[in-house]
Amino acid sequence: MKLITTTAELEAFCAELADAPFVAVDTEFMRETTYWPKLCLIQAAGPDAAAVIDPLADGIDLAPFLAILGDPKIEKVFHAARQDVEIFNNLGVMPKPLFDTQVAGMACGFGEQIAYDALVRQMLKIEIDKSSRFTDWARRPLTDTQLEYALGDVTHLAKLFPMLRARLEKEGRLAWVVDEMANLTDPANYDTDPDNAWKRLRARKHTPKYLAVFKTVAAWRERTAQMRDQPRGRILKDEAIDEIASQTPTDPAAFDRLRAVPKGFAGSKFGPELIEAVKAALKDPETHAPVIARSPQTSTPAAGAVVELLKVLLKARAEDAGVASKLIATVSDLEKIANDDNAETPALVGWRREAFGADALKLKRGELALVLDGARVRVVEVRRAPKAAS
């Protein structure tokens, strides 16, 4: 078992990885009580070398490994990469190029968001011991059992990667995964600027007054959570932000009447600060309110019916392709297509348009029909009778 606890050991290990075509990576971290994830362990494996790196070791400098993650010649392999990518992005490096085996599994027909142990079981015929999954990775020293479990995550991943990649290439779907990786490595997904915090929430109204307070409260919560290193929800729940934006309280009594705001919040150390922020936003809502491009909503019975038909079509096309439907389109995509043939949605671009989007538009035009064939839905072209000569 190779446990790296010094910078010199890490430099030597990274020298072994420098010429590798890929490196499989996983992390163990804690964030139940913090805003910023606490990185407790890094596991890495190339074709010929594997190790566990202890980022909590006294004096260790992670720069050599971060350089590996940023090397464009080395493909970085993760499973369900989003949280791992967030951690490394916070450390100043975006792991690129990236390959997510969960996304690859979806493209290979292993279902929606397949778990790592399930993918290992199905492809490698190995049963993973889960006894160390829910462990305190911040506690030292780590046991041999914990280290073996952690290292297994990447040694199995290093075996999965070439198998999945070969399968995707054979089926002509590698470009599908590459397309998804571009989104996964978009720095905008990991933006922690408090002024942009409102973008992660769903605004229920579009008046300047509501939006000004909505953005202001979201920014205040984000800034406070970061400074105190506490989860956002411990500062204020999402529903409280919407309620404050809707009710616009400007004094302690008004805050205390809100259902989603904790009792006594106005009298706490947070209350006066937030009240002043709300007042400032209300003085000039037009200036404080963000500009939101409003997309058509599924508000008519006809549009709602089209969405339901598109759901059936999506399921049928996903089954035909042997791919998870979520990889092709979301319900939001379907709602946009139902309302607009030229909607700005990934489902109408590139391989998704070929797999589903083009047929979705044909279904809307009445050029395709959905036929129940036993327990399976078939998609058939509608042959229109020629118009009679006048």
Residues 228 and 107 in one domain: no
Question: Residue 272: which CATH number?
Answer: 1.10.150.80
Q: Could you tell me if 91 and 149 lie in one domain?
A: yes
The answer to whether position 389 is within a domain reads no
pLDDT at 321 exceeding the cut of 80? yes
186 and 204 belong to one structural domain: no
Look at residue 127 in the predicted model and tell me its pLDDT. Answer: 92
CATH of the domain at 55: 3.30.420.10
What is the rounded average pLDDT of the residues 338-366? 93
Is there a domain that residue 294 lies in?
no
pLDDT at 388: 59
Domain count for the chain: 3
Distance separating alpha carbons of residues 78 and 325, to the nearest angstrom: 21
Mean pLDDT of 86-104: 96
Quick one: DSSP state of residue 237?
Answer: -
Q: How confident is the model at residue 303 (pLDDT cuts 50, 70, 90)?
A: confident
Residues 164, 203 within the same domain: no
Residue 386, in any domain of the structure = no
Domain of residue 238: give its range: 195-288
Question: Using 50, 70 and 90 to split pLDDT, how confident is the model at 294?
Answer: low
pLDDT above 60 for 291:
yes
Q: Taking 80 as the threshold, does the pLDDT of residue 293 lie above it?
A: no
What is the rounded average pLDDT of the residues 243-251? 96
Residue where a domain stops, chosen among 288, 317, 349: 288
pLDDT at 292: 81
Q: How far apart are CA 58 and CA 364, in angstroms?
A: 62
For residues 144 and 341, give the distance between their C-alpha atoms in angstroms, rounded to a whole number: 58
Q: Residue 295 has what pLDDT?
A: 56
CATH code of residue 318? 1.10.150
| Domain finish residue from 288, 312, 343 | 288
Half-sphere exposure of 66 (CA within 13 A, CB side): 14
* 63 plus 127 within the same structural domain: yes
191-222 pLDDT per residue, tens:
999 999 999 999 999 999 999 999 999 999 99
| Residue 293 maps to a domain | no
Residue 143: other Cβ atoms inside 10 A: 11
List the one residue out of 309, 319, 380 whose CA is nearest residue 355: 319
Give the number of other CB atoms < 10 A from CB of residue 4.
22
